[in-house]
Structure 1
Amino acid sequence: MNITRENIDALNAVVKVDIVADDYQTKVNQLLTDYRKKADVPGFRKGHVPMGMIKKQYGKSIMIDEVNKLLQESLNKFITEEKIDILGNPLPRVQDDFNWDADKFSFEFELGLVPEFDVDLKPKKKVTEYKIIATEELLEEEVKNIQTRYGKMSPLEEVIKEANITGTFINEEKEINKKGTFLVSDLEGKKNEKKLVGAKVGDVIELETKKLFKDDHKLQHILGVSHEEIHDLDIKVTLTIEEITKTEPADLDQELFDKLFPDGSVKTSSELREKIKEDAEKQFAQQGDQQLLNAVTEHLVENTKFDLPAEFLQKWLATAGEKELTPEEAKAEFEKSEKGLRYQLIEGKVMKDNDIKLDYAELVDYAKGFIRTQMAQFGNTNPEEKELDDIAGRILQNQEEAQKLQSQLISQKLLAFYKENMSFKSKEVSYEEFIKEVYK
């Protein structure tokens, strides 16, 4: 057997594999002998069928299978040993004059090569890192929400300006069928308020989602749609009113503080506000980190220039899926996935150049931390280590779940690396300002 590589250019190569009978004949003969021992042919005792008959019936198909196995094993071994970084999979070149009856076989495979490039982590134009603070207005609003949540509720016959409304929002086209509760005071503008004030249980009100609430995130929570979708959502929904109530706010006293913090850590309204601020800014920090990682990703993709073997990748995409794509469909698929591929290559380069690794023990610890958080939400704040190990083991056996956790952990590692090795433009903003700037 002989394997050679020819570089077409920096992004494309061809590997040629020459196979002769000596490379596969011993294995073929062994398999034919095994077939002969097991063959049950009328007129012959088992194991005594003439070899000529076995060869005639099975010889060619066995030979073809063995050549294909040898070809794949040898090609994969060659790529590994030669440390050839490829994109997609090798594509066999079609040979119109190929003959399985020949004494020697020659196969050619096209390779798409990973481009060589450098990643600049010291850009002239710095990425913005947002520090999101909890404003006094936000704290005041959250205190009112807490007082309302723990207040005394009484039923009303019809909607008034101070009412809570519980009902089901429906939009068939978007497959929205969601029950939610809101305050009339949450609504944006007199027009929406006017539609609801005076309504009774059982009434069906048509509303427009655009500028329905003062805070779009209230609508996001009620309708159950994604954060990205909610800011541009402009549809009509029907609201079927199921309950109308009024809430007398709870007093800011020790009874309320103990309900919120049974450990007795809060004794004054000032301490309550400090707790709210601390919790809110922890959540804001998570959102800020995600936005920073997204911004760095966008920056690196936009500013790290390299070519891809586009023609090869389009040919590969045409045959890679269950359904073969037309050249036009393959081109469209490549254009759709190109940005993601570019970041995968950049991410891989950053991790390789800076020795950022992920081992299984780290993944197990990360999974256990995730499980521990989930269990705490259901009141189990001190699970046994064996229980965590067992659950983590089961989760990581699921390839899809394992891949998801691995991706999250890699993102954490990369974010920590970027924070340590890149300079950012720091900007302090309120949550509302953050949303306007990032999702405008």
Structure 2
Amino acid sequence: MNISHQTVDDVNANIKVELAPEDYNPSVDKAIKEQAKKAKLPGFRPGMVPPGHIRRTYGKSILFDEINKLVNDKISEYISENKLEVLGQPLPVENDADAKYNWDFNDTFAFTYEIGIAPEFETPFSKETAFTTYDIKADDATLAERVKNLRRSYGKMTNPEVSEEGDVLYATLKQTKEEGIEKTTSVRTDIVEDAKTKKALTGLKQDDTVKIDIKKAFKVADIARILGITEDEADNLDVTKFELTVKNINRLEEADLNQEFFDKLFPAGDVTKEEEFEAKVKEEVEGLFKQNADQKLRNDIYTYGMEQVDVKFPEAFLKKWLKATNPNISDEELEEGFADFLSNLKWTIIENRIVTANNLEVKYDEVINLAKERIYAQIKMYNTNDEPTDEQLGQYALQLLQDREQANRLFEEAKALKVFDYLKENVTLKPQEIAYVDFEKLEKDSK
């Protein structure tokens, strides 16, 4: 057997595999004997089919399968032994399909595969590379909004006699034209965009009627939801004046700042005073801000790395490989998503180079713990009072990791976190305190 590769250019190469009969016949003979033991054919007792009969009947098919398996195995070994950083998978050169072989167990086969090679580059991160890391502080308005949301989450619904801003009106909306739209629905006054309309919807009582211009009052998506029509229909309403008649007024009263409320949010007894509650809220909010700051740092590192690494890829090969592995993808879909594919590929290579160069290792326990964190966050999102045990989280994590796709996704996420932690230790971070409103503006300006 002879395997070699020839460089086409910096990112393309060919691997050639030559097989003589003595290379493949031993594995073919073994496969034929195993098939003979398992075969159930008319006229033969189970397990007693002569190998010669199997060779005559199924020999070419077995020969083809064994050669294909042998070639793939040897190419994989060759790539590993020669430390070739291959993109995608080797693809057989189409001209080889025209080669004439007898498939009589005496052919000398020669196959050529094209491969894409990852471009060479230096990872662009060092102690000289500087990034800003933000310490985001919660302003009074943000804290007040969070407190309000928490109190509303545990508040109670009431039905006042007179409407105020922020109430939900259960009302009938009737278009001011004959045979127009008529819909009894809930109307949130907090999403009204027009100040005049917002004022008109306050001070109303049951059975009161007011006229509103629904296009001025609401966004198109909200109009569609309120009237139960499509967004296109909402956008093309020929008459936008509606009569609104109040059926009922609903108001969500905020929960009182008392011990019962505190114990719903925190372990019993942890918070007993309003000042302690406000301190906890600030801690929670600024903890979330830390996640925002980390994400900003990750985005800045990613952007810097992508800008600094300017390389070419074997694009023609990669498109051919994507078509081969996704036969249902259209040429238009392939072209549409190809730029994003290359971006993801470039960053994956950058990450992998950092992992390899610094002997970073993603351990199984790290993937398990990450799965537990994600499951815990999901549980708390839907049930703040449910506190799963570590044992339960471990069982859920093991079940999740039985799904190969989920396991691969979590492994890649754990690897990304490992690289991020490594880079934080090996670049220069310049801390900067910033108010949340200023951080929001910074984020908006960077998009």
Task: Give runs of aligned pairs for residues 229-378 of structure 1, distance below 5 A.
Answer: 244-246=249-251, 252=257, 256-257=261-262, 260-261=265-266, 263-323=268-328, 325-326=330-331, 330-372=334-376, 377=383
Q: 1:151 to 1:344 in 2, by over 3 A?
A: closer
User: TM-score, normalised on structure 2?
Assistant: 0.75
CA distance in 2: counterparts of 1:280 and 1:50, whole angstroms: 74
Are the equivalent residues in 1 in contact too, given 2:36–2:50 (CA < 8 A)? yes
Partner residue, 2:100: 99
Determine whether 1:155 maps to 2:159: yes
- Give the C-alpha shift of residue 243 in structure 1: 6.0
CA distance in 1: counterparts of 2:161 and 2:62, whole angstroms: 83
Q: 1:192 to 1:400 in 2, by over 3 A?
A: farther
Any stretches of 5+ residues in structure 2 without a counterpart? 172-184, 227-233
- Give the C-alpha shift of residue 98 in structure 1: 0.5
Are the equivalent residues in 1 in contact too, given 2:12–2:114 (CA < 8 A)? yes
Determine whether 1:134 maps to 2:144: no
Are the equivalent residues in 1 in contact too, given 2:155–2:253 (CA < 8 A)? yes
Opposite residue 133 of structure 1, the aligned amino acid is K
Opposite residue 352 of structure 1, the aligned amino acid is T
CA distance in 1: counterparts of 2:207 and 2:115, whole angstroms: 67
Opposite residue 107 of structure 1, the aligned amino acid is F
Partner residue, 2:117: 113
What SS does structure 2 have at the residue aligned with 1:416? helix
- In the TM superposition, what whole-angstrom CA distance separates every residue of 1:365-407 from its partner, at most 9, and x where no partner exists? 333344455566554546263x443332212111222233323
What SS does structure 2 have at the residue aligned with 1:263? coil
Partner residue, 1:398: 403
- Give the C-alpha shift of residue 152 in structure 1: 5.9
CA distance in 2: counterparts of 1:292 and 1:20, whole angstroms: 56
Determine whether 1:209 maps to 2:219: yes
Q: 1:309 to 1:388 in 2, by over 3 A?
A: same
Moved more, 316-325 or 14-23: 316-325
What SS does structure 2 have at the residue aligned with 1:305? coil
Q: 1:150 to 1:363 in 2, by over 3 A?
A: closer
- In the TM superposition, what whole-angstrom CA distance separates every residue of 1:82-129 from its partner, at most 9, and x where no partner exists? 221100000111225411217211100111111221112249784443
- In the TM superposition, what whole-angstrom CA distance separates every residue of 1:112-154 from its partner, at most 9, and x where no partner exists? 1112211122497844433321101222333444555555643
Opposite residue 359 of structure 2, the aligned amino acid is D
- Give the C-alpha shift of residue 254 in structure 1: 5.3
CA distance in 1: counterparts of 2:170 and 2:349, whole angstroms: 49
Moved more, 241-250 or 260-269: 241-250
Task: Give runs of aligned pairs for residues 37-116 of structure 1, distance below 5 A.
Answer: 38=39, 40=41, 51=52, 55-94=55-94, 95=96, 97-101=98-102, 103-116=107-120
- Give the count of matched residue pairs: 404
What SS does structure 1 have at the residue aligned with 2:428? coil
CA distance in 2: counterparts of 1:19 and 1:373, whole angstroms: 55
User: TM-score, normalised on structure 1?
Assistant: 0.76
Partner residue, 2:389: 383
- Give the C-alpha shift of residue 418 in structure 1: 2.5
Q: 1:180 to 1:84 in 2, by over 3 A?
A: farther
Opposite residue 73 of structure 2, the aligned amino acid is E
Q: 1:133 to 1:72 in 2, by over 3 A?
A: same
- In the TM superposition, what whole-angstrom CA distance separates every residue of 1:303-342 from its partner, at most 9, and x where no partner exists? 122221222212222222132654x664444323111111
CA distance in 2: counterparts of 1:50 and 1:4, whole angstroms: 35
Are the equivalent residues in 1 in contact too, given 2:143–2:285 (CA < 8 A)? no
Any stretches of 5+ residues in structure 1 without a counterpart? 168-178, 213-221, 223-233
RMSD: 4.1
CA distance in 2: counterparts of 1:142 and 1:58, whole angstroms: 73
Opposite residue 87 of structure 1, the aligned amino acid is L
Opposite residue 328 of structure 2, the aligned amino acid is K
Opposite residue 209 of structure 1, the aligned amino acid is K
- Give the C-alpha shift of residue 65 in structure 1: 2.0
Percent identity reads: 31
